[in-house]
Amino acid sequence: MIKEVLYAVIVLLGIPVGILLSKLCGEEISAWTNRLKFISIIAFILGIAVWFMDFEYKIPVAAALSFVIVNNLVITLKGGRK
């Protein structure tokens, strides 16, 4: 039970981390917007693939990939705004 809550907290921490990074790295975001979207798509595909595999650490890996997806999407959405 504690592990599942921890994984959910890790995924939700992608939002404030993304906001912080979008404020700190404003100039780089415009150059990296397409790359961040591509990384999010790759992480989503890997997350689906990992979910159907049978190994011990599939939920932590899926949580980490979800963090990457949330973080990149927040950076992409907040990066255009000042």
- pLDDT tens digit sequence for 4-30: 899 999 999 999 999 999 999 888 888
Residue 60 CA to residue 42 CA, distance in Å, equals 17
Q: What is the mean pLDDT of the chain?
A: 91
**Predicted pLDDT of residue 82:** 52
Residue 81 CA to residue 50 CA, distance in Å, equals 34
Q: Which domain holds residue 52?
A: 2-79
- Give how many domains the chain has, as a whole number: 1
53 burial type by CB count under 10 A (0-12 exposed, 13-18 middle, 19+ buried): exposed
Q: Are 14 and 70 within 8 A, CB to CB?
A: yes
18 burial type by CB count under 10 A (0-12 exposed, 13-18 middle, 19+ buried): buried
